[in-house]
Amino acid sequence: MISFTKTVGSIRRCMMRKSKNGRKAMKHLMIIMFTIYIILIVWVVIFKLQFSAFELDYHRSINLIPFYYSNEVGIGFHLKEVFLNCLMFLPFGIYMKAISDENSSRMTVLLGALFSIILEVIQYIFAIGATDATDVITNTCGVAMGVLMYDILLKIIKRGNRLNVAIISCSVLFMGISIAAIIALIVGN
């Protein structure tokens, strides 16, 4: 925990500088965090948390009817999946708004929808999961919620630098938890 607070303190000192280099460093760090986030999303959605393509369950299905579910699995499972999809794509909207100065909220949501569609098409082409219209809708809703959250926090904090430092700090914490979970998965296998 001490190293985490030291890391966050170092990031904060570096980023809070009003110099051009401080803002540039913050943007670079945010891009690195966004890239790691995208890699994690691809690993979760495409590779299903597997470390080898040989371990994937190969099947191809497509559901183009939004929020249509077969009766094989209970409604609780589907509600949880909708919630987790929204939650998983929420950072996409936050990162995109933080990284780009010119990106409008609408463009960010459209890019998130496009990214979600690309993931679903990859699943269909390579027969590595169910391609589902519901996933595209809920992922896009997650991106929109992230955009809204960023815009609201920006109005409350009123300083983009402070908000970006908070985002980076939360990202460092999340990445640490993710790395610990990945190590646990590796050791568990």
Q: Is the pLDDT of residue 176 over 80?
A: no
Residue 177 binned pLDDT confidence (cut-offs 50, 70, 90): confident
In a domain, 41, yes or no: yes
Question: Residue 9 is part of which domain span?
Answer: 2-63+74-188
Task: Specify if 69 maps to a domain.
Answer: no
pLDDT value at 3 more than 70: no
Report the 10 Å Cβ neighbour count for 54.
7
| Mean of per-residue pLDDT scores for the chain | 80
Q: How many domains does the chain have?
A: 1
Structural tokens at position 180:
């610990």
Quick count: other Cβ atoms within 10 Å of Cβ 115? Answer: 20
What is the pTM (predicted TM-score) of this model?
0.78
Q: Establish if 120 belongs to a structural domain.
A: yes
66: left (phi over 0), alpha (psi -120 to 50) or beta: beta
Tokens of 132: 């589902």
Coil vs helix vs strand at 1 = coil
Question: Is residue 68 in some structural domain?
Answer: no
